Amino acid sequence: MSEAVTRRVAELRATLDRLNVEYYVLDTPSLPDAEYDRLFAELARLEAEHPALADPDSPTQRVGASPASAFGAVRHVVPMLSLNNAFDDEDVIGFDRRARELLRAVLPADEPIDYSVEMKFDGLAISLRYEDGRFVQAATRGDGTTGEDVTANIRTIRSVPLRLARPLPGPLEVRGEVLMFKRDFERMNERQREAGEREFVNPRNAAAGSLRQLDPAMTAARPLRFFAYGLGQVGADWAPQVPARQSDLLGWLAGLGLPVGPRRTASGAAALLAAYREVLAGRAALPYDIDGVVYKVERQDFQAKLGFVARAPRYAIAHKFPAQEALTTLLAIDVQVGRTGVLTPVARLQPVFVGGTTVANATLHNEDEIRRKDLRIGDTVIVRRAGDVIPEVVAMVPDRRPPDAPGFVMPASCPVCGSAVMREPGEAASRCVGGLFCAAQRKQALRHYAQRRALDIEGLGDRMIEQLVDSGRVHSPADLYGLTAAELAALDRMGDKSAANLVESIERSRHTTLARFLFGLGIRHVGEEVARQLASDYGDLAALLAEDWDALIERKARIQKDNTRRRTKGEALAPVPLEGVGPEIVDSLRRFLAEPHNREVLEALQRAGVHWPVTERALQAPEGRLAGRTFVLTGTLPTMTRDEAAELIRAHGGSVSTSVSRKTHYVVAGTDAGSKLARATELGVAVIDEDGLRRLIESDPVPGDRGS
Ligand code: IVH
């Protein structure tokens, strides 16, 4: 025997021993179960090929690991064994064939074996001991012979009955699995995260960690469940009651008040495989994780005949599902720009077969996520793909980190368009501010621009947008207006007729409204409602482009503060510019408009002939912003005399009156205003100051005009 084999066997035993301790004692496995299974299988194969290397202390000869010392020890009168695994159809067929051979004497040749098909719960094996129908002790599996006393903790699990429904004298040991529902696990991890505590990798570890709490009060706070699947020690009074078939046993346990999982029966290997596929297909819908199904020979007398080898029975086998977790290498972290400009780091992985498919990429969500998981390029990582869920990097394996593994930094500029990347305080996402200019955002921008509620370009579907952008023909919505029918007809799946129709609807979209246009730009936070308000308050794009946003924010704040004072005094309130448009929206507008690329697109769109009827007020502008409005002046204004103010009002088309009536639109009040102010308040006429007057003249809304 070669030295290499001896060395490998020693290495495998050491690794498996360490993994066993991590898994069973510390609840912090560093490798996925499938990796454990692989190493275990390799060791078992080497030991079988080289019998001289046999060792009773080898991990292949034991189940689990010695119990942690913190809990009392419990000796299992009936050992808690493990199950052999089947990984493919051949393994199952072989299992059935061997069982038939061993049962040859008692089973007619043409009769298939009946099996009970059960869920393989992915939790922790537990033995519950009842005496005279009362719960007295619970123990973990430990090494199969000796487990830990977790009675106090198990007592806190509500689905474990403290009294059996139909008690008999003497002992009855119920074997089953403690686990955590997926939904409970998510919620618990959320709480852990909020409390800044360690998160659990999966429901199994969470269940194990919860059960191993030394303080039962801690366990009580964790949402654990129990499912029974078999029996341990059975007292003489109980024995005659125990059903002779496994599926009946489960029903009997349920009748005693114990929770049991879904089960079915199947005859022969083909039926087992059919059941397997059905359970696999429905796996994601189960409230808890299962990592396979368990086939058990139905008849107890057959079970007894088949007996055990080493650590597992010959009458049962676990048919494992394709592993949902696997180990691979994190080759790189790329950044993708999503449709809304969000930069998403994506893990490029050494392709690995997991959850039934080959996975080469996984989203890493955002910067914080990478930091939380402490991922670096070159790390060995655990990848999970559960059901239809998108693949995920669960954790890295610390002791496999290469020296000098580089960390990840979010780029400061967009990898696609070079625009700035921003991350708002309190937000996890980093965003490219490039908007319409950013290639990655173009398609989405075009989709948004063309939608019915925006520019309403019929016939500009996703496929068309893809082709137009990918061919480089269309960079921004403005380019749409240069498309010809001939050009469009040359595209995939585009006839002359539909090309002509599309050109026609692009043409039609030139005539729109400012509100639709502003909404169509896809500015963050500017939905239809905000777009309508901007359109009505500014009247035209030029006014919006000319806005001094800092000054606007200041002005808004000043007027709002002043209005608070007015409200307490019962005075009429001054109009607030862009009322209801919060600082977040203003900021987003400012950023969008400050980006030169976006300005270029706006200009190009207008050059392309996109136009809208300017609102009433904007139309009034040439003859005066204040046309049709009557003003009354009172008190001392800060920077001009009342005559100067009157002149200003008239210059902008307004009229000035000396007395306040219901017909008065505004009272412009300075300090020491007297009876006219009182009268205005009485009649509910708007009162503004000199600054308010200036704003009316510049661009701000006139009350009552809103929505015109
Ligand atoms: S029967 C002697 N039934 O799988 C056979 N085990 O790998 C005892 N498990 O230690 C096991 N679901 O923790 C059985 N329906 C089920 C099971 C199940 C999960 C676990 C159990 C056992 C391990 C064996």
Q: Examine the domain organization and report whether 391 and 467 are in the same domain.
A: no
pLDDT band, residue 1 (cuts 50/70/90): low
Residue 695 pLDDT greater than 70, yes or no: yes
Structure tokens at 624: 């005066």
Residue 67 pLDDT greater than 70, yes or no: no
CATH code of residue 682: 3.40.50.10190
- In 60-102, at which residue ranges do the beta strands (DSSP E only) sit? 73-75, 85-86
Give the pLDDT mean for 44-72.
77
Centre of ligand 1 from the C-alpha of residue 120, in Å: 6
Q: Examine the domain organization and report whether 203 and 278 are in the same domain.
A: yes
Domain closes at, from 614, 646, 681 = 614
- Structural domain that includes position 604: 427-614
pLDDT value, residue 184 = 93
Q: Examine the domain organization and report whether 441 and 558 are in the same domain.
A: yes
Ranked by mean pLDDT, which of 20-34, 192-206, 407-421 comes out on top?
Answer: 407-421
pLDDT value, residue 640 = 85
pLDDT band, residue 701 (cuts 50/70/90): very low
Closest CA to 432 of 444, 443, 418: 418
Centre of ligand 1 from the C-alpha of residue 317, in Å: 9
Nearest atom in ligand 1 to 312's CA = 2
**Domain annotation covers residue 405:** no
Closest CA to 181 of 157, 161, 162, 163: 157
- CA distances (Å), 61 to each of 40, 51, 144, in order? 11, 13, 11
Q: Examine the domain organization and report whether 178 and 310 are in the same domain.
A: yes
Residue 333 pLDDT greater than 90, yes or no: yes
Q: Examine the domain organization and report whether 116 and 142 are in the same domain.
A: yes
**Higher-confidence residue: 525 or 93?**
93
Residue 433 pLDDT greater than 60, yes or no: yes
**Domain annotation covers residue 108:** yes
pLDDT band, residue 438 (cuts 50/70/90): confident
- Which residue, judged by its Cα, is nearest atom 17 of ligand 1? 120
CATH code of residue 369: 2.40.50.140
- CA distances (Å), 308 to each of 81, 314, 530, 537, 570, in order? 9, 5, 73, 83, 90
Domain closes at, from 555, 581, 614 = 614
pLDDT value, residue 409 = 92
Centre of ligand 1 from the C-alpha of residue 244, in Å: 19
pLDDT value, residue 706 = 31
Four-residue CA torsion sign, 358, 361, 365, 371? positive
* CB 125 near ligand 1, within 6 Å: yes
CATH code of residue 493: 1.10.150.20
Residue 131 pLDDT greater than 70, yes or no: yes
Cα–Cα distance, 440 to 438 (Å, whole number): 5
**Domain annotation covers residue 277:** yes
Residue 654 pLDDT greater than 70, yes or no: yes
Residue 334 pLDDT greater than 80, yes or no: yes
Give the pLDDT mean for 555-561.
86
Cα–Cα distance, 163 to 166 (Å, whole number): 9
* CB 319 near ligand 1, within 6 Å: no
pLDDT value, residue 382 = 92
* CB 144 near ligand 1, within 6 Å: no
**Domain annotation covers residue 421:** no
Cα–Cα distance, 299 to 304 (Å, whole number): 9
* CB 231 near ligand 1, within 6 Å: no
* CB 540 near ligand 1, within 6 Å: no
Mean pLDDT over the full length of the chain? 88
Pairing mode, strands 85-86 and 316-320 = parallel
pLDDT band, residue 195 (cuts 50/70/90): confident
Q: Examine the domain organization and report whether 306 and 346 are in the same domain.
A: no
Cα–Cα distance, 288 to 259 (Å, whole number): 14
CATH code of residue 13: 1.10.287.610
Q: Examine the domain organization and report whether 539 and 671 are in the same domain.
A: no
Identify the weakest region by mean pLDDT among 167-181, 190-204, 225-239, 511-525. 190-204
Residue 313 pLDDT greater than 50, yes or no: yes
Residue 560 pLDDT greater than 60, yes or no: yes
Number of domains in the chain: 5
The secondary element (H helix, E strand) that includes residue 362 is strand 357-363
**Domain annotation covers residue 310:** yes
* Exposure class string for 199-238: b at 16+ Cβ within 10 A, else e: ebbbbbbbbbbbbbbeeeeebbebbbbbbbbbbbebeeeb
The residue to mutate among 120, 128, 260, 303, having the most atoms of ligand 1 within 8 angstroms of its beta carbon, is 120
- Among all chains, which residue has been given the structure tokens 């796996």? 283
pLDDT value, residue 704 = 37
Q: Examine the domain organization and report whether 291 and 333 are in the same domain.
A: no
Q: Examine the domain organization and report whether 198 and 287 are in the same domain.
A: yes
Identify the weakest region by mean pLDDT among 21-30, 69-78, 314-323, 360-369. 21-30
Centre of ligand 1 from the C-alpha of residue 147, in Å: 16
Cα–Cα distance, 318 to 248 (Å, whole number): 20
Q: What is the pLDDT of residues 570-598, one digit of tens each?
A: 888 888 888 878 888 998 899 889 888 88
Whether 536 and 614 have beta carbons less than 8 Å apart is answered as no
Residue 486 pLDDT greater than 80, yes or no: yes
Centre of ligand 1 from the C-alpha of residue 123, in Å: 9
Structure tokens at 205: 């570890």
The residue to mutate among 78, 174, 260, 294, having the most atoms of ligand 1 within 8 angstroms of its beta carbon, is 294
Residue 29 pLDDT greater than 80, yes or no: no
Q: Examine the domain organization and report whether 435 and 525 are in the same domain.
A: yes
- Which residue, judged by its Cα, is nearest atom 22 of ligand 1? 82
Domain closes at, from 614, 638, 659 = 614
CA angle 340, 346, 347 (to 5 degrees): 175
Give the pLDDT mean for 169-173.
96
Residues of the chain with pLDDT > 70, as a percent, come to 95
Residue 69 pLDDT greater than 60, yes or no: no
Q: What is the pLDDT of residues 500-538, one digit of tens each?
A: 999 999 999 999 999 999 999 989 889 988 998 898 888
Q: What is the pLDDT of residues 408-425, one digit of tens each?
A: 999 999 998 899 999 988
pTM: predicted TM-score of the whole model, two decimal places:
0.56
120 counts as catalytic: yes
**Domain annotation covers residue 283:** yes
pLDDT value, residue 436 = 67
Cα–Cα distance, 203 to 124 (Å, whole number): 11
* CB 29 near ligand 1, within 6 Å: no
Cα–Cα distance, 293 to 83 (Å, whole number): 11
**Domain annotation covers residue 408:** no
Residue 432 pLDDT greater than 80, yes or no: yes
The residue to mutate among 23, 24, 60, 83, having the most atoms of ligand 1 within 8 angstroms of its beta carbon, is 83
Q: Examine the domain organization and report whether 289 and 199 are in the same domain.
A: yes
Assign 3-class secondary structure to 338-359. CCCCEEEEEEEEEEEEECCEEE
pLDDT value, residue 618 = 52
Identify the weakest region by mean pLDDT among 272-276, 611-615, 642-646. 611-615
Q: What is the pLDDT of residues 10-26, one digit of tens each?
A: 999 989 888 877 776 56
**Domain annotation covers residue 706:** no
Identify the weakest region by mean pLDDT among 51-65, 98-112, 376-390, 649-663. 51-65
| Cα dihedral: 82, 84, 87, 93 (round 10) | -140
Give the pLDDT mean for 288-313.
94
Closest CA to 361 of 388, 391, 324: 391
pLDDT band, residue 27 (cuts 50/70/90): low
Q: Examine the domain organization and report whether 630 and 577 are in the same domain.
A: no
